[in-house]
Amino acid sequence: MSHKALVIDDEEDFRLIAEDILKSSGFEVYSSKNGAEGLISAKKFKPDIILLDWKMPKMDGETFCRELREDASLKKTPIIMLTVNSKTEAELEALHFGVDDFIAKPYKKEEFLARVRAVLRQRRSA
């Protein structure tokens, strides 16, 4: 069974790399350039997992998480934050808004996929 993933990142290079990693592992991938577009895509495609940049134009990660968690059909969708720095205040803040895990940029393919799969497993068993 193929999982659906939504990648939301305003930085095209990182967005394309994430898409490639997921597609090469059998994911059906959708992408958006900002949180506002991402929210529309999430409502339309109902992804199994969302990979979200935190600092974006039009709608930042915090606002995206808040709005997603208010939607009954999407509120349990796991979110992985894509971040340049690990263990920052932004990551701690993100946990309060419903982020399930973090992946540091630049991506290491093996770690990227391991974290995505682990979050999906946790959600299935919950």
Give pTM, 2 decimals.
0.92
What the chain holds in terms of domains, given with CATH numbers, is 4-125 (3.40.50.2300)
pLDDT by residue (tens digit) across 3-54? 999 999 999 999 999 999 999 999 999 999 999 999 999 999 999 999 999 8
Q: Which two tokens stand for residue 98?
A: 């419903």
- Which percentage of the chain shows pLDDT scores above 90? 69
Angle at which helices 35-45 and 61-70 pack, to 10 degrees?
Answer: 30
Provide the CA 125 distance to its chain's centre, in angstroms: 19
